[in-house]
């Protein structure tokens, strides 16, 4: 059994300390996963996060980097009325589609401390789409840990303190929504590759912020799969600092329509080539 992860990013310091958070994120993933895809979308001046981090990270042969330059991002979104600077659904699908592992995790760049054992002990189930409740943590608590990010000692130290941080509660904040299970459900979503293939990834027409993570969980249900919330894995989200970055979060640009995206959604409009499967993107491997 193999597990892989996809992380998307844009080099605009979204949330503050983006490069350092991503360093911790990737260090932990490279320790825990069999394969990792980092998709850098539309970074200013085409300076990707990978170019900054590649000399800091271990050379494992497991990290695949795909850079979607500004011109390429414009080309890939020309059919959409798209104002989001980092188009999450398209970037995520590029990585998810190319992962070759049995299980595939979509995780945000500011999530850290994911030990492999904590995952395999809790959520390996090929009929269930899993979401994990995150705990809000100030990034400097991770920096203050004396152990190397991704090491067994680091995971143990973070696990020991995970109860110190508030965890998101159950339930969606939206009316008539049984699919979200929790607020901010998109920080950690894991499923078997057969599920990702059946639902054809994230809905590619939803190129604005809002409801995309809830939508994919509804897609899983519509295709006969289960959805489940896991609460006892130490998943930490590094809190965002105010007025930092411009990736296009809620409030920065218009949002997807809730009814179209979620409440009235019936089936995918993604094609069989979702994730731009026909495009041979250049990959850097570290």
Q: Tell me if 79 is assigned to some domain.
A: yes
Give residues with Cβ within 8 angstroms of 284, minimum separation 6. Answer: 50, 54, 64, 65, 66, 67
Q: Tell me if 52 is assigned to some domain.
A: yes
Q: Tell me if 276 is assigned to some domain.
A: no
Question: For the segment 104-114, what is each residue's pLDDT rounded down to a tens digit?
Answer: 999 999 999 88
What's the pTM value of the predicted model, to 2 decimals? 0.94
Reading the block at residue 154, the tokens are 């680091």
- Provide the number of structural domains found in the chain: 1
By three-state DSSP, how is residue 198 classified?
helix
Q: Tell me if 15 is assigned to some domain.
A: yes
pLDDT confidence band for 6 (50 / 70 / 90): very high
Q: Tell me if 94 is assigned to some domain.
A: yes
Q: What is the CATH number of the domain that holds 237?
A: 3.90.550.10
Q: Tell me if 28 is assigned to some domain.
A: yes
Question: For the segment 128-171, what is each residue's pLDDT rounded down to a tens digit?
Answer: 999 999 999 988 888 888 899 999 999 998 888 888 888 887 77
- Burial (CB count within 10 angstroms: exposed 0-12, middle 13-18, buried 19+), residue 102: middle
Q: Tell me if 281 is assigned to some domain.
A: no
Domain boundaries, position 254: 3-270
Q: Tell me if 277 is assigned to some domain.
A: no
d(CA 36, CA 59): 12
């Amino acid at each position: 059994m193999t597990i892989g992860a996809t992380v998307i990013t844009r080099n605009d310091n979204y949330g503050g300390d983006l490069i350092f958070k991503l360093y911790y994120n990737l260090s932990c993933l490279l320790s825990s996963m069999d394969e990792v895809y980092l998709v850098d979308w539309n970074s200013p001046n085409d300076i990707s996060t990978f170019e900054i981090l590649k000399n800091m990270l271990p050379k494992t042969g497991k990290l695949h980097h795909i850079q979607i330059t500004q011109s390429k991002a414009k080309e890939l979104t020309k059919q959409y009325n798209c104002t989001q600077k980092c188009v999450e659904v398209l970037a995520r699908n590029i990585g998810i589609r190319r992962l070759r592992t049995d299980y595939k995790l979509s995780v945000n760049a500011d999530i850290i401390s994911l030990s492999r054992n904590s995952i395999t002990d809790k959520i390996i189930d090929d009929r269930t789409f899993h979401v994990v409740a995150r705990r809000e943590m100030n990034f400097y608590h991770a920096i203050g840990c004396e152990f190397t990010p991704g090491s067994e000692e680091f995971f143990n130290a973070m696990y020991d303190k995970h109860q110190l941080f508030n965890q998101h509660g159950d339930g969606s904040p939206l009316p008539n929504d049984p699919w979200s299970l929790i607020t901010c459900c998109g920080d950690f979503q894991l499923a078997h590759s057969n599920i990702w293939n059946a639902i054809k990834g994230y809905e590619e027409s939803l190129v604005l912020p809002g409801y995309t993570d809830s939508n994919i969980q509804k897609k899983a249900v519509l295709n006969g799969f289960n959805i489940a919330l896991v609460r006892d894995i130490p998943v930490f989200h590094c809190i965002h600092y105010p007025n930092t970055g411009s990736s296009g979060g809620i409030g920065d640009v218009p949002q997807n329509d809730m009814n179209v995206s979620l409440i009235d959604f019936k089936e995918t409009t993604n094609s069989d080539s979702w994730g731009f499967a026909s495009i041979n993107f250049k990959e850097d491997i570290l």
